[in-house]
Amino acid sequence: PRIVVLISGNGSNLQALIDAQSHDRLGGGEIVAVISNVADAYGLKRAHDAGIDAVALPHREYDSREAYDGALIKVIERHEPDLIVLAGFMRILTPRFVQRFLGRMLNIHPSLLPDYQGLHTHARALADGVASHGCSVHFVTEELDGGPVVLQAELQVSADETVETLQEKVRAREHLLYPIAVQWFLEGRLQFTPEGAKMDGHLL
């Protein structure tokens, strides 16, 4: 199976997927291309170093979100992916884009969804004094950070927690979680349904 990964920045989750692939822990999946809307994203270097096609597609060169997403669809489809993985891709997607890849596009979000959709999740969680926090892998639908959740990792927030320490802890969990979700999907154990994600026939 063929995987296309979309990024905007550092690409540490991309790296976790690359490492899983090289250890044969990605359900036989192959990352065939990495596309970034930010030309100097460090993740593009990670892709290049791993021998993966690394494509910069800067959104600034397009007049509208529709035009950009249209171009992005073209680049993605050239690679004939079975799965699209959003790994820190910091763009709101048009309905057309989401519909095109519905049921075969995953995202990872740094909160225990449905709590803390959107940005600055760690700071907001700390401000609320939560006891636990974490990250979620979900199918992408038109609702931002609102698609069916596939897998979550929860961790305890310590008394002296800062945004930085929390981010570091959550990020480490993301790196464990995302390759597992991708592996499940590619093994055919994980499905999207409008009622929610299904794992081995069970609604999650």
Neighbouring-strand partners of residue 133? 155
Do the beta carbons of residue 74 and residue 96 sit within 8 Å? no
d(CA 134, CA 154): 4
Report the DSSP pairing between strands 190-193 and 196-199.
Answer: antiparallel
174 binds ligand GRF (CB under 6 A): yes
Binds ligand GRF by CB under 6 A, chosen from 5, 6, 13, 149: 13
Within 28-57, the residues that bind ligand GRF by CB under 6 A are 43
Binds ligand GRF by CB under 6 A, chosen from 27, 29, 88, 179: 88
Among 23, 48, 59, 109, the one annotated catalytic: 109
C-beta closer to ligand GRF: residue 89 or 193? 89
109 binds ligand GRF (CB under 6 A): yes
Q: Which residue in the block uniquely carries the two structure tokens 């692939």?
A: 21
Binds ligand GRF by CB under 6 A, chosen from 27, 29, 81, 110: 110
C-beta closer to ligand GRF: residue 135 or 140? 135
Report the DSSP pairing between strands 132-139 and 53-56.
Answer: unpaired
User: How far is C-alpha 153 from the geometric centre of its chain's CA atoms?
Assistant: 14
Q: How many binding residues for ligand GRF (CB under 6 A)?
A: 16
φ and ψ at 105, to 5 degrees?
Answer: -135, 125
φ and ψ at 197, to 5 degrees?
Answer: -80, 145
* Active-site residue, 120 included: no
C-beta closer to ligand GRF: residue 10 or 165? 10
11 binds ligand GRF (CB under 6 A): yes
Q: At what angle do helices 12-22 and 42-49 cross, to 10 degrees?
A: 10
Write out the catalytic residue numbers.
109
* Residues forming the site for ligand GRF (CB under 6 A): 7, 9-14, 43, 87-88, 108-110, 135, 171, 174
